[in-house]
C-alpha cells in the first residue's frame, strides 16, 4: 500500500502516450506537467522521465519543428528529464520510420533507479507488454509499480496483472490537463 510519504518516479513512453491520446481523445495537446501532477496524487515526486524518438529533420522538417517545440516544453517542466532515442528511416516515404532505443532506455532507467533505491513507487505510462519483466524485477526489488493505461482494449493484460495498481487514463483524469 502506498502512502503520501512515498518517493515516486514517473516513466512515460512518449510515443505510446501520443498515439493513445490520438486514438482515444482525437487530440494530443496535453500538458505533461499537469498530467503528472494528477498521477502523483499528492505523493512526493522525485523525477519524471519522458522518452521519445527524434523525428528526422530532413525527412519530416515540419513535424521535426513541432516536435522540437514540444521537447522544449518538456525540458521546462521541473524535475523532468527528456530521454531521446531515434527514428530509423528505411525506404522513406514508402515505409514509415521505426523507433530505436526508447524501450531499452526506459527499462534501463526503471531498473537502475530501483536498484539504487531512488524511489518507492514507479508509475509507468505505457501499454506495451514488453515492460512486464522489468516491472516484475522492480517489484522483486521491493518497490511498488503502477501502470497508467488507456482502457482495457489496446493495452496489455499482462501489464495489468503485474502492476500493483492500474490507473485508468480517461476524461476524468485528464480534466484540466489539456493545453
pLDDT level of residue 87 (50, 70, 90 thresholds): very high
Q: Tens of pLDDT along 92-102?
A: 999 999 999 99
Q: Inform me whether the pLDDT recorded for 112 exceeds 90.
A: yes
* Residues 37-70 pLDDT 10s: 999 988 999 999 999 999 999 999 999 999 999 9
7-13 vs 44-54, strand pairing mode: parallel
Task: Provide the percentage of residues in the chain whose pLDDT is more than 90.
Answer: 91
* Per-residue confidence (pLDDT) for residue 156, from 0 to 100: 85
Per the prediction, the chain carries an average pLDDT of 95
pLDDT at 2 over 70: no
4: part of which helix (H) or strand (E)? none
Residue 86 near residue 100, CB atoms below 8 Å: yes
**Residue 3 confidence (pLDDT):** 73
Q: Is the pLDDT of residue 154 over 80?
A: no
Going by C-alpha positions, the residue among 73, 74, 83, 10 that lies closest to residue 47 is 10
| Grid cell digits, residue 132 | 512486464
Mean pLDDT of 117-146: 97
pLDDT value at 108 more than 70? yes
Amino acid at each position: 500500500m502506498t502512502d503520501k510519504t512515498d518517493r515516486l518516479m514517473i516513466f512515460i513512453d512518449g510515443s505510446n502516450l501520443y498515439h493513445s491520446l490520438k486514438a482515444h481523445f482525437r487530440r494530443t495537446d496535453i500538458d505533461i506537467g499537469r498530467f503528472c501532477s494528477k498521477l502523483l496524487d499528492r505523493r512526493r515526486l522525485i523525477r519524471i522521465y519522458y522518452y521519445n524518438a527524434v523525428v528526422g529533420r530532413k525527412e519530416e522538417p515540419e513535424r521535426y519543428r513541432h516536435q522540437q517545440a514540444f521537447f522544449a516544453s518538456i525540458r521546462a517542466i521541473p524535475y523532468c528529464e527528456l530521454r531521446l532515442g531515434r527514428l530509423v528511416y528505411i525506404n522513406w516515404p514508402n515505409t514509415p520510420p521505426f523507433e530505436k532505443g526508447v524501450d531499452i532506455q526506459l527499462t534501463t532507467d526503471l531498473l537502475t533507479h530501483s536498484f539504487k533505491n531512488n524511489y518507492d513507487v514507479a508509475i509507468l505510462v505505457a501499454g506495451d507488454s514488453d515492460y512486464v519483466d522489468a516491472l516484475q524485477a522492480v517489484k522483486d526489488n521491493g518497490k511498488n509499480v503502477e501502470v497508467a493505461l488507456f482502457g482495457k482494449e489496446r493495452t496489455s493484460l499482462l501489464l495489468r496483472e503485474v502492476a500493483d495498481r492500474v490507473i485508468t487514463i480517461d476524461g476524468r483524469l485528464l480534466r484540466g490537463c489539456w493545453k
